[in-house]
Amino acid sequence: MAEAASFANLWVPFCRKHGIEPRNPETYFNLKRDPFKNKVRPDFVRDRRLVKREYDEFKVRVNGLTDAIRRRFDAWNAREEIKALKKRKESGMDEELMERLKMPKATWMADGTH
């Protein structure tokens, strides 16, 4: 959501300034018609290139989130499991009981919260 909001801060003003329709960036950038037709503002070409570049980077970041999130929560779970094992060994809990107790697995959001 944070990535989408960040891109929207650039996309929405661009659409308003240049009267862009459709407002969906994927649809807009895949149109087969000439995007420069009927555009009278001299800064349209520069703005469009900037927004297109930002949109392509946005898609790469969003598509990479699933792997990044998985790596984060795997590392966190491993660290928490090691802490719990140390704590159990220090408390003198027998091995059979330790095997039966399982650590709850955490999942993480993209911003690092539970």
pTM of the model: 0.60
Q: What share of the chain is helix, strand, coil (3-state, %, to 5)?
A: 65, 0, 35
User: pLDDT-derived band of residue 107, with 50, 70 and 90 as boundaries?
Assistant: low
Reply yes or no on whether the pLDDT at 112 is more than 90.
no
| pLDDT 10s digits, 20-60 | 888 999 999 988 877 667 666 788 889 999 999 999 999 99
Tally of CA atoms within 13 A in the half-sphere of 14 that contains its CB: 23
- For the chain, what is the mean pLDDT? 80
| pLDDT 10s digits, 61-106 | 888 888 877 888 788 888 888 887 787 777 766 655 555 555 556 6
DSSP designation for 103: P
